[in-house]
Amino acid sequence: MKNPYIIHPAEMKDFVGRKTHYRKLHQLLKGTPSIILVIGIRGMGKASFLKNILHQDFEPQPLFIEYNSKKHEREFVIPDLYRNRKEIPEHSELVKKLNTLKLKFTFSDYSPSSQKEPLSEDFFKAADIFRLNYESLMDIQNTLKKIKANIVVLVNVHNLLPAEQWILEELVKNSQNFFLIIKLTEEMASTMVISNYEPIELEPLSREESVEIIGKGKFLDEETSEAVYELSGGYPYLVQVISWILYEKHLRGEDIHAFIDMLREEEPEDFFGNVHQEILTVLNPDARRLLIDLSCAPSVLTLKVLKAFSQADPHEGLSDLIEKGILSQENGIFRVNLALSPDFLEYVDEDETIGNFADIYLEAARTLKKDDDCVFLLEDLRNTDEGQSEVVPVLENEEVLLGFGTDELYAGRLASAERCFERGLQLNGVLRSAFLARLGIVFQRVEIPDKALQCYEQALHIHKETGYNQGEADQLGNIGWIYKEKGSLDEAETHYKRALEIDRELKDKQREALHLGEISAVYREKGEPDKALTCSTQALEIERELQHAARETIHLKDIGAASIQMGNLDEGLTYLKQALERFTSSGDRYEVLSTYAHIFDGFIRKDDPVTAFSYMKKALEYTQDEEYTGGIFAIMMMTAKHLMQENQWKYLQHITLVKSPHFGKELNSLVTAVGYYAKYKLSGNKVYLKDYKRRKKKLGYSARSILDELFKRK
In this structure, the number of other CB atoms found within 10 A of the CB of residue 466 comes to: 16
Query: How many angstroms separate the CA atoms of 127 and 111, rounded?
Result: 18
Which residues partner with 156 through β-bridges? 68
Tell me the average pLDDT across 664-668: 78
Per-residue pLDDT, 251? 87
DSSP states of 84-138? TSPPPHHHHHHHHHHHTS--S---TT----TTSPPPPHHHHHS--SSS--HHHHH
Residue 354 has pLDDT above 60, yes or no: no
Per-residue pLDDT, 110? 33
**Domains of the chain and any CATH numbers:** 18-201 (3.40.50), 208-242+266-376 (no CATH), 608-714 (no CATH)
CA angle 410, 411, 416 (to 5 degrees): 90
Band the pLDDT of 341: cuts 50, 70, 90: low
In terms of Cα–Cα distance, which of 140, 236, 180, 158 is closest to 53?
180
Residue 658 DSSP label: G
Residue 710 DSSP label: H
> Which are the contacts of 587, defined by CB distance < 8 A and separation ≥ 6?
173, 196
In terms of Cα–Cα distance, which of 256, 255, 250, 211 is closest to 234?
211
Say which residue, 272 or 61, is predicted with more confidence: 61
Tell me the average pLDDT across 701-706: 80
What does the pLDDT look like over 566-600, one tens digit per residue? 999 999 999 999 999 988 877 677 788 889 989 98
Band the pLDDT of 325: cuts 50, 70, 90: confident
Band the pLDDT of 519: cuts 50, 70, 90: very high
Per-residue pLDDT, 649? 85
Per-residue pLDDT, 174? 78
Per-residue pLDDT, 71? 61
Residue 170 has pLDDT above 60, yes or no: yes
φ and ψ at 54, to 5 degrees? Answer: -65, -20
Mean pLDDT of the chain: 82
In terms of Cα–Cα distance, which of 607, 506, 597 is closest to 560?
597
Per-residue pLDDT, 46? 86
* Region of poorest pLDDT, from 196-200, 227-231, 297-301, 388-392: 297-301
Which residues partner with 200 through β-bridges? 38
In terms of Cα–Cα distance, which of 515, 458, 512 is closest to 492?
515
Per-residue pLDDT, 627? 54
Instruction: Find out whether the peptide bond into 661 is cis, omega within 30 degrees of 0.
Output: no
* Cα–Cα distance list, 56 to 15, 43, 62, 670 (Å): 10, 22, 11, 53
Residue 446 DSSP label: T
Say which residue, 523 or 88, is predicted with more confidence: 523
**How does strand 35-39 pair with strand 178-184?**
parallel
Write the burial class of residue 276 (CB in 10 Å: 0-12 exposed, 13-18 middle, 19+ buried).
buried
Per-residue pLDDT, 496? 97
Per-residue pLDDT, 632? 61
Band the pLDDT of 339: cuts 50, 70, 90: low
Per-residue pLDDT, 115? 30
In terms of Cα–Cα distance, which of 462, 411, 464 is closest to 437?
462
Residue 660 has pLDDT above 80, yes or no: no
Tell me the average pLDDT across 688-714: 80
Percentage with pLDDT > 90 across the chain? 35
Per-residue pLDDT, 229? 94
Residue 252 CA to its chain's centroid (Å): 48
> Which are the contacts of 464, defined by CB distance < 8 A and separation ≥ 6?
472
Residue 379 has pLDDT above 50, yes or no: yes
What does the pLDDT look like over 228-247, one tens digit per residue? 999 999 988 888 889 988 99
Which residues partner with 318 through β-bridges? none
What does the pLDDT look like over 400-418, one tens digit per residue? 999 899 888 877 889 999 9
Query: How many angstroms separate the CA atoms of 120 and 690, rounded?
Result: 74
